């Protein structure tokens, strides 16, 4: 975990905790003493979190296992997106070309039938970045239903799948920024987790758990109870990160944010927005 503390001019002090993986994020939660969590323990409040757990060990295990309900929601979104009128990301995948005089390998079937038999490959598009950074906000105030917290994460995972199928490499991060977290200190908190490195294989079954309302309101809340300050009774409020905040997560200035989407239609609109931006960039 990378920890930084800053005090920007004219703003509250802010603590950053940047986790390299979901495993590291969960391990940090397990290290927070239960006495620090106290009344903020929402583990056994399924109407609020979205899932019921008997022990914290069960919570931690659930973050590493397939979550059938979340997978079904994501599958529905992916199915609907296939039929939607979405901008198509320009493919970066290599396509084969056949020549008679030179190439990378010999195709014996084409040779026997008298066709051009030397195979060469090339990318159809070289404009724009090959690696794309996607950041998804998983924070929400208490009045947001746990089911609606998931839409932003589902959109981010669906977008990642669409882009990787087009040949891009995607780095996926989640984050939650909270203000008024401590009762006697004007300190903000931003925690971020790298859910997928560009080289990682996309595993939607565990990623969907990481962006769920139940994960934020169990593991996320527990992580926010770290430190020495007295925790506010309401665990603070959702805050929008600044550009400087996002720079702490990734230096990629072409990053794409998935935020403010608390319904299916909003989530699809976010996917469309990013794809539109990428298609316009590739055409320049």
Examine the pLDDT at 111 and tell me if it is beyond 70.
no
Sequence-separated (6 or more) residues with CB below 8 Å from residue 22:
63, 193, 195, 206, 210
Handedness of CA 137, 143, 145, 148 (dihedral sign): negative
The ranges assigned to domains in the chain are: 2-88+126-283, 96-123
pLDDT interval class at 89 (50, 70, 90): low
Helices (H), ranges, 84-116: 108-112
- As a whole number, mean pLDDT of residues 236-246 equals 94
Of the candidate ranges 52-56, 88-92, 278-282, the one whose mean pLDDT is the lowest: 88-92
pLDDT of 260-276, one tens digit each? 999 999 999 999 889 88
Residue 235 has what pLDDT? Answer: 86
Residue 128 has what pLDDT? Answer: 53
Residue 227 has what pLDDT? Answer: 76
Neighbour-count burial for 96-127, b at 16+ CB within 10 Å, e otherwise: eeeeeeebeeebeeeeeeeeebbeeeeeeeee
pLDDT of 2-32, one tens digit each? 999 898 777 788 999 999 999 999 999 999 9
Q: 175: which strand partners?
A: 137, 192
Examine the pLDDT at 116 and tell me if it is beyond 80.
no
Q: pTM for the full model?
A: 0.83
Mean pLDDT of the chain: 86
Examine the pLDDT at 69 and tell me if it is beyond 90.
yes
């Amino acid at each position: 975990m990378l920890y930084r503390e800053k005090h920007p001019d004219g703003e509250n002090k802010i603590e950053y905790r940047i986790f390299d993986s979901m495993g590291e994020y969960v391990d940090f939660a397990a290290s927070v003493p239960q006495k620090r969590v106290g009344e903020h323990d929402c583990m056994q409040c399924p109407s609020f979190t979205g899932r019921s757990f008997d022990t914290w060990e069960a919570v931690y295990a659930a973050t590493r296992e397939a979550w059938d309900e979340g997978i079904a929601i994501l599958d529905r979104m992916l199915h609907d997106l296939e039929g939607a009128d979405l901008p198509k990301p320009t493919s970066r995948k290599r396509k084969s070309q056949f020549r008679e005089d030179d190439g990378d390998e010999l195709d014996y079937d084409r040779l026997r039938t008298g066709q051009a038999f030397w195979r060469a490959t090339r990318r159809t598009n070289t404009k724009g970045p090959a690696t794309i950074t996607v950041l998804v906000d998983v924070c929400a105030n208490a009045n947001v239903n746990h089911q609606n917290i998931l839409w932003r994460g589902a959109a981010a995972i669906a977008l990642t799948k669409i882009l990787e199928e087009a040949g891009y490499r995607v780095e996926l991060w989640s984050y939650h920024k909270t203000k008024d977290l401590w009762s006697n200190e004007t300190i903000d908190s931003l925690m971020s987790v790298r859910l997928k490195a560009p080289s990682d294989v996309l595993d939607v079954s565990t990623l969907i758990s990481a962006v769920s309302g139940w994960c934020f309101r169990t593991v996320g809340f527990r992580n926010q109870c770290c430190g020495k300050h007295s925790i506010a009774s309401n665990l603070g409020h959702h805050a929008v990160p600044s550009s400087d905040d996002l720079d702490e997560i990734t230096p990629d200035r072409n990053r794409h944010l998935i935020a403010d989407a608390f319904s299916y239609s909003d989530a699809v609109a976010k996917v469309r927005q990013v794809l539109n931006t990428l298609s316009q960039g590739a055409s320049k």
